[in-house]
A and B are shown apart, each in its own frame.
Chain A
């Protein structure tokens, strides 16, 4: 029995508060969830184009309860990338917000439910789905890869339990949403709070809008989470001077917070008596792998902490030997029940079972200090986190190449640097990449170079770019 199977335990408690200040109890959530997925048969694949709104939550919970497998997709997805996903996975139904109805293409809208259209596709979906498969999430969905992460029912349950445990989430908590539901971090906030009978304040506003802060204050939010850029925004907004008596704790994940911001916010939070909990995770680990207990936010600033309850970390060197010494950098390996089943590239992969068997090679390089706290120092793979989104650099190069540009990509989190040998193409390249990835153009920088630096064997020398 998972949390979504037994919502009547909390029946009269408020589960959801909407932007319009509508209060929806757990009993209502259960009823609406079952109704909105009424047309579906179990063990189908369904696309849910998500928003932080009640209908989206109803569909999500309804699908889990009915054992229908959702693919969660962000409402701002590029239509061509969405089409790519449709062709790869052939879902039987699509739930789409009304304002984005072109994502339904020529398929028939069979029902509308609040602000959502229920679309029935005409795909022949005679493919098999593994019994353990619960949910599919995109990895770098913004760069068009149809690669999805396969999450099991056990993954969702164990991670929600672990997170609720170390964050000490109680039924009195009220989490205000700050991230897309289709993003593993945003989704984990939803799972862990509904598990405990707590409340979710659903909204699509950003921290730069007064409506967000009004909602937070009026509905007395106790918590929210944020990727590193959220903390840049909090700093700009002078979070330290805000009166937010209801806030009890805030969390951070989705990339490494700079040492300066980590230190600054740990001090600010101590002053405001708010717990700051830095965390680390990946979609491939359902959501969270580690947390930094709030008491160590300042003394261990820069660390992402220790493994979550039930999880385990170790480091390996380039020969795959376990590193036992402190302060030696190696690849971070994680073991736990939240390690997902594996990937899928198209519908034929959905029959696959557990390929990881509870062990995840994170692809991140880390070190461990003498007290057993871990610090991420770099990445093995070529990707960046831009405002929380995972962007694969090789995929960006491929996208640009397909458009006729010769480019190489490097950069740091929140700033992707494109070097091109095509003259006078700066603004068109930025415009193209920004519209494909749906990421603000300020994240991209283009520099003209005469030729791409390569070594004698023709391999691109990324280190020679500066």
Chain B
């Protein structure tokens, strides 16, 4: 399955968003559901779906939808 679609689906599911919300304006705290609790859920979903284990520095650096793609690239997930 296309990584972009998978990634988007996870964001939509975790934060109750739609495709139109998934852009550079989507950052930690910009959506009410993306608080620290939501972040834990997001990371857990990403790890499970892409079968990776994220480093602490990457978890706390994952501050936006766009940044997230850069970070996942380190785990060989290409977009």
A431 surroundings in chain B (CB, below 8 A): 16
Q: How many residues of B contact A (CB 8 A)?
A: 18
Interface-facing stretch out of B1-9, B18-26, B39-47: B39-47
* A236 and B59 contact, Cβ closer than 8 Å, known pairs A208-B28, A209-B28, A431-B16: yes
C-alpha spacing A442/B61, complex, angstroms: 22
C-alpha spacing A435/B33, complex, angstroms: 10
Q: Please determine whether B59 and A229 come into contact, CB atoms closer than 8 angstroms.
A: no
Q: Please determine whether B56 and A241 come into contact, CB atoms closer than 8 angstroms.
A: yes
B42 to chain A, nearest CB (A): 9
C-alpha spacing A216/B43, complex, angstroms: 23
C-alpha spacing A210/B43, complex, angstroms: 15
Q: Please determine whether B60 and A237 come into contact, CB atoms closer than 8 angstroms.
A: yes
Q: Please determine whether A440 and B35 come into contact, CB atoms closer than 8 angstroms.
A: yes
Closest to B61 in A: A210
C-alpha spacing A92/B79, complex, angstroms: 56
A interface residues (Cβ-Cβ under 8 A, vs B): 206-210, 212-213, 229, 232-233, 236-238, 241-242, 387, 427, 431, 434-435, 438, 440-443
C-alpha spacing A206/B56, complex, angstroms: 14
C-alpha spacing A207/B33, complex, angstroms: 16
Q: Please determine whether A208 and B56 come into contact, CB atoms closer than 8 angstroms.
A: no
A270 to chain B, nearest CB (A): 21
Best-buried of A208, A210, A213, A237 by chain B (most CB within 10 Å): A208
C-alpha spacing A435/B32, complex, angstroms: 9
Q: Please determine whether A236 and B40 come into contact, CB atoms closer than 8 angstroms.
A: yes
C-alpha spacing A212/B56, complex, angstroms: 13
Q: Please determine whether B39 and A208 come into contact, CB atoms closer than 8 angstroms.
A: yes
Q: For the complex, is B68 an interface residue (Cβ under 8 Å from A)?
A: no
Interface of B is mostly: helix
Q: Which of B33, B35, B40, B63 contacts A232 (CB 8 A)?
A: B40
Please list the 3 inter-chain residue pairs (A to B) with the smallest Cβ-Cβ separation, ordered nearest first: A206-B36, A440-B37, A208-B39
* Sampled A-B contacts (10; CB under 8 Å): A206-B36, A210-B60, A233-B40, A238-B56, A242-B56, A431-B16, A438-B32, A440-B33, A440-B38, A442-B38
Interface of A is mostly: helix
B63 surroundings in chain A (CB, below 8 A): 209-210
Closest to B39 in A: A208
A206 surroundings in chain B (CB, below 8 A): 35-36, 39
A213 surroundings in chain B (CB, below 8 A): 60
* A209 and B37 contact, Cβ closer than 8 Å, known pairs A431-B16, A441-B16: no
A210-B61, A236-B40, A236-B59 known; 9 new pairs, CB 8 Å cut-off, are A206-B35, A207-B60, A209-B60, A237-B59, A237-B60, A434-B33, A440-B37, A441-B33, A442-B38
Q: Please determine whether A442 and B37 come into contact, CB atoms closer than 8 angstroms.
A: yes
A442 surroundings in chain B (CB, below 8 A): 37-38, 41
B31 to chain A, nearest CB (A): 11
A342 to chain B, nearest CB (A): 33
C-alpha spacing A95/B59, complex, angstroms: 35
Q: Please determine whether A236 and B43 come into contact, CB atoms closer than 8 angstroms.
A: yes
Q: Please determine whether B16 and A208 come into contact, CB atoms closer than 8 angstroms.
A: no
C-alpha spacing A75/B63, complex, angstroms: 22
B9 to chain A, nearest CB (A): 16
Best-buried of B38, B43, B57, B59 by chain A (most CB within 10 Å): B59
Closest to A387 in B: B37
B32 surroundings in chain A (CB, below 8 A): 435, 438
Q: Which of B33, B40, B57 contacts A208 (CB 8 A)?
A: B40
Q: Please determine whether A208 and B41 come into contact, CB atoms closer than 8 angstroms.
A: no
C-alpha spacing A210/B60, complex, angstroms: 5
A198 to chain B, nearest CB (A): 25
C-alpha spacing A438/B35, complex, angstroms: 11
C-alpha spacing A435/B56, complex, angstroms: 30
B18 to chain A, nearest CB (A): 13
C-alpha spacing A206/B32, complex, angstroms: 14
B43 surroundings in chain A (CB, below 8 A): 236
C-alpha spacing A233/B36, complex, angstroms: 9
B38 surroundings in chain A (CB, below 8 A): 440, 442
Best-buried of A236, A238, A435 by chain B (most CB within 10 Å): A236
Q: Please determine whether B37 and A229 come into contact, CB atoms closer than 8 angstroms.
A: yes
B39 surroundings in chain A (CB, below 8 A): 206, 208
A232 surroundings in chain B (CB, below 8 A): 40
* A443 and B37 contact, Cβ closer than 8 Å, known pairs A208-B28, A236-B43: yes
B33 to chain A, nearest CB (A): 6
B59 surroundings in chain A (CB, below 8 A): 208, 236-237
B61 surroundings in chain A (CB, below 8 A): 210
